[in-house]
Amino acid sequence: MKTIGILVFDDVEELDFTGPLEVFAMASLSLDLKVLTVAETANEVRCRYGLRMIPSCSFHDCPQLDLLIVPGGPGARNHARFSPVILEFVREQQGFVASVCTGALVLAAAGVLKNEDATTHHTRFDLLREYEGVSVKENVRMTMGKRVATSAGVSAGIDLALALLAKFWGEKAAANVAENMEWQSKSWRPLRDGAQAP
């Protein structure tokens, strides 16, 4: 079984994490995978637009992850990318790491995007360029490397999750989830290592 963790923190953008959560949770109905939300502590997280949620686990009791997804939002820009505890958690990951929207700033601050192609929300390219060694790609839906992927803003996280599902479990599995979700975008397929989706 593969375990997918989605990082959450105060002021996280709701769709940045609920989109990928929906993709992987739906896939888990027929595939051998588990998806959970992870936060620094087990305390309630207050999201950007008022949603309150309790994470599945804290950093302390988080199992080993095969994939970590880092969402964005004001909390990513103003807190998570400056948090030594969050950055260390991201650095410690041995599996694949991906970001949605300004979650790329957290990956960059953790050093994960050095010498990698990356994208983020179109209004935050300037912030991403502040990190040395990051090759910022504009006008792409996502980037996919050997161990790191990034996506553009908000709804692009659904395409990213579908692309990762296709990468690890096959295109048919991803197509089935996209059909069940009635997701119209085709930006997630096919996306190979080193590619950027338009």
Compute the distance between CA of residue 28 and CA of residue 192 in angstroms, rounded to an integer. Answer: 23
Bond into 190 cis (ω within 30): yes
Single out the catalytic residue among 47, 57, 62, 101. Answer: 101
Helix (H, G, I), strand (E, B) or coil at 45: strand
Is 57 marked active-site? Answer: no
Compute the distance between CA of residue 147 and CA of residue 164 in angstroms, rounded to an integer. Answer: 11
Residue 114 burial (10 A CB sphere; 0-12, 13-18, 19+)? middle
What are 150's strand-pairing partners?
Answer: 99, 143
Residues marked active site are found at 101
